[in-house]
A and B are shown apart, each in its own frame.
Chain A
Amino acid sequence: MKNNKIIDNLCIFLVFSFLFLPILVIILFSFNTSSLNIVFEGFTFDWYKELFNNKTLLEALYNTLIVAFVSTIISTIIGTISAYALKKYNFPFKNIILELLYIPIVIPEIVLGISLLAIYTLFKLELGLFTLILAHICFSIPFVIINVRSVLDNMDPNIEKAASDLGASKLKTFFYVVIPTILPGILSGAQLALTLSLDDVVISYFTAGPGSNTLPLHVYSIIKTGVTPDVNALITIMLLFVFVILTISTIINLKRLRRM
Chain B
Amino acid sequence: MKNKTLRFIFLTPVIIYTFCLIVLPLLYILTISFFKSDFYGGMIYDFTLENYKELFNFVYLRIFVNSILIALVTTLICILISYPFVLAISHKSKKIQQIIMTLVMVPFLTNSLIRMYGWIVLLRKSGAINELLLNFNIIDNPLSLMYNNIGIIIGMVYTFIPFMILPLYNSVSNIDKYTLEAASDLGASKIKRFLNIILPQTLSGLFNGAIMVFTPALGCFFIIDILGGGKVMILGNLIKNQFLTARNWPFGAAISVFLILLTTILILIYKKIGGKMDDLGGI
Contact = CB atoms under 8 A, between A and B. Distances in A.
Interface of A: 4-5, 7-9, 11-12, 15-16, 18-26, 29, 37-38, 78, 81-82, 84-86, 88-89, 91, 97, 99-112, 114-119, 122, 134, 137-138, 141, 143, 145-147, 149-150, 169-171, 192, 195, 198-199, 201-202, 205-206, 215-216, 219-220, 223-224, 227, 231-232, 235, 238-239, 242-243, 246, 249-250, 253-254, 257
B260 A114 contact: no
Instruction: Enumerate the 5 nearest inter-chain pairs by beta-carbon distance, A residue then B residue, closest first.
Output: A22-B118, A108-B219, A82-B14, A115-B25, A110-B219
B14 A85 contact: yes
Given A22-B118, A106-B280, A242-B110, A111 B21 contact: no
27 contacts: A8-B91, A18-B158, A21-B122, A37-B121, A78-B14, A82-B13, A86-B14, A101-B18, A106-B215, A108-B216, A110-B219, A111-B29, A114-B29, A118-B32, A171-B1, A198-B111, A199-B109, A205-B222, A205-B240, A216-B111, A216-B113, A223-B120, A232-B114, A238-B110, A246-B102, A250-B98, A257-B98
A114 B25 CA distance: 9
B98 A12 contact: no
Contact of B260 (A107, A141, A219): A107
B136 interface: no
A104 B283 contact: no
B187 interface: no
A172 to B, nearest CB: 10
Given A138-B22, A199-B112, A246-B109, 15 more contacts: A9-B88, A18-B81, A19-B158, A101-B18, A102-B280, A109-B216, A115-B26, A118-B32, A138-B17, A198-B111, A199-B111, A223-B120, A223-B226, A238-B111, A239-B110
Contact of B110 (A89, A137, A201, A235): A235
B28 A119 contact: yes
A224 B226 contact: yes
A141 B121 contact: no
Contacts of A100: 18, 22-23
B107 A103 contact: no
- The A interface, classified by DSSP as helix, strand, loop or mixed, is helix
Contacts of B110: 23, 199, 235, 238-239, 242
Given A106-B215, A107-B260, A246-B105, A26 B29 contact: no
A170 B126 contact: no
A21 to B, nearest CB: 6
Interface string B1-33: 101001100110111011001111110110010
A161 to B, nearest CB: 15
A192 B281 CA distance: 12
Contact of A253 (B15, B98, B126, B256): B98
Contact of B118 (A26, A78, A81, A105): A26
Given A106-B211, A202-B219, A242-B109, A85 B26 contact: no
Nearest to A153: B278
B207 to A, nearest CB: 13
A238 B158 CA distance: 20
Contacts of A103: 22, 26
B194 to A, nearest CB: 14
Interface in B99-153: 99-100, 102-122, 126, 128
A115 B31 CA distance: 11
B278 A15 contact: no
B85 interface: yes
Given A97-B15, A107-B263, A11 B85 contact: yes
A235 B114 CA distance: 8
Nearest to A116: B25
B18 A114 contact: no
Contact of A254 (B98, B114, B220): B98
B106 A242 contact: yes
A149 B221 CA distance: 33
Contacts of A97: 14-15, 18
B180 interface: no
B236 A22 contact: no
B205 to A, nearest CB: 16
Contacts of A118: 25, 28-29, 32, 249, 253
A73 B178 CA distance: 45
B117 A219 contact: yes
Contacts of A12: 85, 88-89, 100
Interface in B222-266: 222, 226, 236, 239-240, 243-244, 249, 252-253, 256, 259-260, 263
Given A26-B118, A110-B221, A117-B243, A89 B283 contact: no
A81 B24 CA distance: 22
A171 B6 contact: yes
Given A119-B28, A215-B111, A216-B113, A91 B215 contact: no
Nearest to A23: B107
A115 B24 CA distance: 9
